[in-house]
Amino acid sequence: MGAGKTTLGERVAARLGRPFVDLDAEVERRTGRTIPELFAVGEQVFRAAEQEAALEVLGRREPVVLALGGGAVLTPEIRRAVEAHAFTVVLDVDVAEAWRRVEGSDRPLARDRGRFEALYAEREPLYEAIADAAARDEEGILLAAAGIHVGVGALELLGMLVPGDGDAELVMDARVAGIYGMEAQLALGARGRGTHEVPPGEEAKSVGVAERLWRALRLERRGTLVAVGGGCTTDVAGFVAATYLRGIPWVSVPTTLVGQVDAGIGGKTGIDLPEGKNLVGAFHWPVRTVIDPALLATLPEAQVAEGMAEVVKTGLLAGSPLWELPRHDLVRACAAFKAAVCLQDPHDRGPRNQLNLGHTFAHALEAAAGYGGELTHGRAVALGLLAALRLSGLDTRVVEEVLRPQKARVDRDRAWAALTRDKKVEGGVPKLVLLEAPGRPRIGVELPAADVRAALDSLIA
> Smallest distance, Å, CB 269 to ligand NAD?
6
Q: Is 255 in the site for ligand NAD (CB under 6 A)?
A: yes
CB 208 within 8 A of CB 200: no
- The nearer residue to ligand NAD, 53 or 155, going by C-beta atoms, is 155
Q: Is 344 in the site for ligand NAD (CB under 6 A)?
A: no
Q: Is 266 in the site for ligand NAD (CB under 6 A)?
A: yes
Provide the β-strand partners of residue 22.
Answer: 67
CB 217 within 8 A of CB 241: no
CA distance 218 to 389: 49
Taking each helix axis from N to C end, the angle separating 412-421 and 359-369, rounded to the nearest 10 degrees, works out to 130
Q: Is 200 in the site for ligand NAD (CB under 6 A)?
A: yes
Q: What is the CA radius of gyration of the chain?
A: 25
CA distance 226 to 223: 10
> Smallest distance, Å, CB 232 to ligand NAD?
3
Stretch that binds ligand NAD, among 30-38, 46-54, 190-198, 261-269 (CB under 6 A): 261-269
Q: Is 173 in the site for ligand NAD (CB under 6 A)?
A: yes
CA distance 415 to 361: 9
> Smallest distance, Å, CB 94 to ligand NAD?
35
- The nearer residue to ligand NAD, 219 or 228, going by C-beta atoms, is 228
* Among candidate residues 378, 392, 408, 179, the one with its CA nearest the CA of residue 294: 179
Q: Is 286 in the site for ligand NAD (CB under 6 A)?
A: no
Stretch that binds ligand NAD, among 74-82, 137-145, 252-260, 409-417 (CB under 6 A): 252-260
Stretch 207-236 residues interacting with ligand NAD (CB under 6 A): 229-233, 235
CB 389 within 8 A of CB 357: no
| DSSP SS3 for 288 | strand
Q: Exposed/middle/buried for 105, CB within 10 Å: 0-12, 13-18, 19+?
A: exposed
Stretch that binds ligand NAD, among 126-134, 156-164, 175-183, 215-223 (CB under 6 A): 175-183
> Binding-site residue total for ligand NAD (CB under 6 A)?
28
Q: Using CB under 6 A, which of 7, 105, 298, 406 touches ligand NAD?
A: 298
CA distance 236 to 259: 13
Q: Is 175 in the site for ligand NAD (CB under 6 A)?
A: yes
Q: Is 263 in the site for ligand NAD (CB under 6 A)?
A: yes
Strand pairing of 89-91 and 133-135?
parallel
> Smallest distance, Å, CB 358 to ligand NAD?
13
Expressed in angstroms, the distance from the first to the final Cα of the chain is 60
Residues near ligand NAD (CB under 6 A): 173, 175-176, 179, 200-202, 205, 229-233, 235, 255-256, 258-259, 262-263, 266, 268, 278, 295, 298-299, 303, 306
